[in-house]
Structures are given as C-alpha cells and as structure tokens.
Amino acid sequence: MLRLVMFLGTNAAIMLVFSITSKLLGIDRYMGSGNYQSLLLFSACAGFIGAFISLAMSKSMAKRGMGVQVIDQPSNETEAWVQQTVFRQADMAGIGRPEVGIFNSTSPNAFATGMNKNNALVAVSTGLLAAMSREEAEAVLGHEVGHVASGDMVTMGLVQGVLNTFVVFFARIIGQIAGGGRDGQRGNMMIYYAVSMAAEMVLGILASFIAAWFSRRREFVADRAGAELGSRQGMIGALKALQRVHDPVGLPDEMAAFGILGGKGSLMQKLASTHPPLEDRIAALEAGWGK
C-alpha cells in the first residue's frame, strides 16, 4: 500500500502544479476552442510526463519519506537474513538484485518500488519482522519481489498516464463548455479556469478509483508470487497476521470503526483501497494459488 500511496500522491501533486502553471503561463490559451486533436496531444504529454516523473522519483522519495536504511553491509543477523532472502528470491524471479532496506515502524508493512525491475528497492518494517515468523516474513518479501518481477510500478505508470490524459482532456472540455467557448474574453476565461480546475479535481478522484481497482487486481498476482518464492502457508499466515492487526479481536463489527485500526470501511473507502480485503486474498490462496 505504501508504494502506491506515495506514487499516487506524488502524481496528484505534480498534476496540480502542472495545471496551475499552465494556466498562469497562458499555455491553455493556445489550445483553441474545438481544436481537440491539439488538446488531446497536449493532455497526453502532460499526463504521461506527470506519471513518469512520479515513477522516476518513487525510490528516492520512499527512502526519504519512510526513513529506509538501505542494507549495504548487514550489521546483524536479521539484516543479513532479509538481504539474503530478497537476493535469493530476485535470482529465482530472474530480475536484478534490488536494494534492500529496513524502516522503523511498529506497523507490519513492506513495499517495493523503482523505475524498472532491475533497479528497484524492497523495504520491510521493523514491526513486520517482529510480528511475523521467518516463514511469513519470507513470503511477504516474495510478494514484494513479485511486484518488481511483474513490472507493476511501470504498468501503473502507464495506467496513470492514460488516466491523467483523459482527466486533463475532459476537464478542459468541460471548462470550455461552461465558459461559453474560449473567445478571449476575460469573463469567459475566468469561468473556464475555475470550472476546469474543479473538473480536474473531481475527475482525478474518479481516476484514482480506477487506479486503485487495477492495484487490487495485481495484489492477487503478487500474493501468488509470495507463495511461490516463499511458501503458500507462509503467505496465508502473513495475511492472517495482518488480519489480526486490522480486525481487532473483541470489537464487534458495529464498534470496530471506533477501534484504533478501524472497521471494514465505507463503500468510498473500499473503492479507494489499493488492496482487496484480506479475507478474499486468503481465500484465493487457500483455493490453490501457489501450490
């Protein structure tokens, strides 16, 4: 989840800065009314540049944002085990050995990110290493290596580029319609700017739901990689450990939302979630994935 949240957040910030800058510099004025081919080309350039800048920045931002300590020379047995496990799994998956790191967090978590499958970062939290057995932690690391081997970050960059393109394109068309056509009159231009910015925010939220849906699909594939590079029982055990964290024992469903880790969430939360429900992932593995 951390990997995608950082990527989507960076992408949204870049697109917002681009939108404001293009209006302040008057770039939008050159996208004449009815010139939809030029507008689509402009939107595609903006959309894919924003997505791939986010992708290029993902590894350095993850290191700084999460305080990841990259393991160059292991200083203890745990660091040596984590690094050796990731390297072994990367060799099994046929990809370049990624950088391996550990970050301080009481929450059990791990993520993988990077511009390409041969130049990635796999990081795991101290909380996960403390809460899970070696077999379970090995499966989680395999899950993250699976994301790298499948090129999920690059694929997400392409998906986000397409989504950005249509967000920019349709937001400006909506702005043009609301402004009564871009005839150069300041009043119409002010309406165009205000409406297109508002439309971009609304369409951006809808686009994030599509990106989250894609991410949820990829999690099942990464779970299978975790089962194959680690073990199926280890992956199931890891998910059940996460389930115990996210569904506290002793709180009924109607009270779980008031617990420190929250309940099952609203429909909006489910649409925006980058991961499918843990029970669905466990069921998929128990049905035979990764045998």
Residues with catalytic annotation? 144
- What's the token pair of residue 131? 């809460």
Distance CA 221, CA 30 (A): 44
Q: Is-contact 165 48, C-beta < 8 A?
A: yes
Question: At 84, which amino acid appears?
Answer: Q
Hunting for tokens 């292991």 — which residue is that? 74
Count of helices and strands (H, E) across the chain: 11, 4
Residue 101: burial class (beta carbons within 10 Å; 0-12, 13-18, 19+)? buried
Got the DSSP string for 265-284? --HHHHHH-SS--HHHHHHH
**Alpha-carbon 96 to chain mean position:** 22
Q: Taking Cα atoms as reference points, which of 198, 197, 156, 149 lies closest to residue 55? A: 156
Q: Which residues contact 248 (CB under 8 A, 6 or more apart)?
A: 256, 259, 260, 261
**Encoded tokens for 77:** 């047995």
Contact 93, 32 (CB under 8 A): no
Residue 206 Cα distances to 56, 98, 209, 211, 217, angstroms: 24, 33, 5, 9, 17
DSSP 97: P
